[in-house]
């Protein structure tokens, strides 16, 4: 996770990002620049995804599947709700609004899982 996030950060914060977006993905330079800030927002997702998986697996192992289902509903609802708010109340472009919505939805669901799995994760370490 640390390596993945570090590599993504290294790519995203250097001219390498523009090279990848322009030469590999075929974006025009103006679109590559347009995608830079949403890419910064998405840098946190690998770390959040690992935490999400850990808490989710602890709850499934403990047969608390309803909490996992609720977290999925929270994620989808968080993405949709955040997207509606950002598009309706701000002048953010769609790519940035989508990146923020994805990060918010996954963060909401991960925090919910963390809250519910906190005792299980501690007991797994013992």
State the average pLDDT over residues 8-26. Answer: 92
Q: Are both 89 and 121 inside the same structural domain? A: yes
For residue range 69-106, what is the model confidence (pLDDT) as tens digits? Answer: 999 999 999 999 999 999 999 999 999 999 999 999 99
Residue ranges of E strands in the chain = none
Domain that residue 96 falls in: 44-126
The answer to whether residues 25 and 63 touch, using CB atoms and an 8 Å cutoff, is no
Q: Are both 64 and 123 inside the same structural domain? A: yes
Give the burial class of 115: count Cβ atoms within 10 A of its Cβ; 0-12 exposed, 13-18 middle, 19 or more buried. exposed
pTM for this structure? Answer: 0.82
Q: Are both 35 and 12 inside the same structural domain? A: yes
Placement of tokens 């770390």 in the chain = 47
As given in the structure block, the two tokens for residue 74 are 């929270």
Q: Are both 125 and 70 inside the same structural domain? A: yes
The answer to whether residues 57 and 2 touch, using CB atoms and an 8 Å cutoff, is no
Q: Are both 99 and 61 inside the same structural domain? A: yes
């Amino acid at each position: 996770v640390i390596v993945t996030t570090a590599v993504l950060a290294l790519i995203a914060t250097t001219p390498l990002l523009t090279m990848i977006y322009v030469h590999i993905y075929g974006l025009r330079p103006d679109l590559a620049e347009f995608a830079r800030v949403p890419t910064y927002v998405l840098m946190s997702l690998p770390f959040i995804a690992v935490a999400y998986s850990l808490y989710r697996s602890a709850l499934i192992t403990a047969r608390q599947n309803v909490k996992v289902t609720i977290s999925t509903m929270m994620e989808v609802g968080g993405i949709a709700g955040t997207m509606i708010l950002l598009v309706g109340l701000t002048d953010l472009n769609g790519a940035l609004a989508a990146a923020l919505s994805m990060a918010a939805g996954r963060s909401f669901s991960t925090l919910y899982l963390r809250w519910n799995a906190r005792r299980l994760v501690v007991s797994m370490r013992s």
